[in-house]
A = this chain, B = another copy of it.
Amino acid sequence: MHAVITLTTDFGHEDAYVGVMKGVIISVNPHARIIDICHHIEPQNVGQAAFVLGTAYPYFPTNAIHVAVVDPGVGTARRAIILKTEQGLFVGPDNGVLSYVLRRTSPQSHSGEASLVPVPSGWEVYAITNPRYWRHPVSASFHGRDIFAPVAAHLSLGVPCGSFGEAIEAIHAIALPAPRRTAGQVAGRILHIDHFGNVITNIREEDLPEGRWRIEVQGRRIESLSGSYEAIEEIGAMTGSSGYLEIAARGKSAAGVLGLRIGDEVIVAAYRTA
């Protein structure tokens, strides 16, 4: 089968870790097609991995198998899971790395702990417990190689989810920050800063106050959305490619110019109509 397997990890590119996972996958299924989503997640930053995977999986075929290995609890009793949705299969530790697939929002901060939530109706979750599909001996520190890669490869061969372990009822999710709306304003947060220094907030265009508004960030005001990066004079805002309000600087890193970091607050204030 020519199934697609994607990889999202914090393994970086200095070691052979990613290559080793690919070697294990093709040793099981020589025809699996492997596509890298990202290997530069900050070490052990489960929330960032969840965001990056969340922006990517909707653009893949719905029979793709998405493997996410950002796994500070590797070797402990934390569960390994398979999540089956109509948009694809997801394989990884049960630590919140699939939170943006679940899209459970809350007004809390991004850095919140993962908590147990019920599996959405129509979806299925399986605990990976059957050692038959693992690589042995299983190391204490590299389940990407010994469990997740071979499980994904066997899934790509058509082994049914139920063969890997029992269905479970709840999985861990990090509460994603939703913008807080009050009478005169919307208070959002910075979800991600990309390679260009564009600042991606959790505010969508439909969240903006009616009428005239201004974004207030680090003493600067932005009063309208630009239609393109080139239309921005110095600092501006536009609807980014994932549908979120993005703050950008012309030819520069907006995060650098403004001194912004993931988790910082961004306020959109309505002008009083006198």
A contacts, CB < 8 Å to B:
2, 4, 6, 8, 10-20, 22-24, 26-27, 30-31, 33-40, 43-44, 52-53, 55-57, 59-61, 64, 72-76, 139-142, 145-146, 192, 194-196, 227-231, 238-241, 246, 251
Q: Which of B13, B35, B194 has a CB less than 8 Å from the CB of A15?
A: B194
A24 touches B145 (CB 8 A): no
Q: Which of B10, B35, B44, B140 has a CB less than 8 Å from the CB of A239?
A: B140
Distance A4 CA – B34 CA, assembled complex (angstroms): 13
Q: Which residues of B contact A14 (CB under 8 A)?
A: 38, 40, 194-195
Q: Which 4 A-B pairs have the closest CB atoms?
A: A75-B228, A12-B195, A142-B241, A16-B56
User: In chain B, what residue has the closest Cβ to A141?
Assistant: B241
B23 touches A141 (CB 8 A): no
A6 touches B35 (CB 8 A): no
A161 CB to closest chain B CB (Å) equals: 22
Given contacts A56-B19, A195-B14, contact A141 B2 (CB under 8 A): no
A233 CB to closest chain B CB (Å) equals: 14
Distance A44 CA – B248 CA, assembled complex (angstroms): 14
Distance A179 CA – B177 CA, assembled complex (angstroms): 51
Q: Which residues of B contact A76 (CB under 8 A)?
A: 228, 230-231
Q: Which of B75, B227, B231 has a CB less than 8 Å from the CB of A229?
A: B75
Q: Which residues of B contact A34 (CB under 8 A)?
A: 35
Please, could you name 28 A-B residue pairs with CB atoms under 8 Å apart, sorted by A? A2-B30, A14-B195, A15-B38, A16-B38, A17-B194, A17-B195, A19-B35, A19-B37, A20-B37, A23-B61, A27-B59, A30-B33, A44-B251, A59-B145, A72-B229, A74-B229, A74-B230, A75-B229, A76-B228, A76-B231, A139-B241, A140-B227, A140-B239, A141-B238, A141-B240, A141-B246, A145-B241, A146-B241
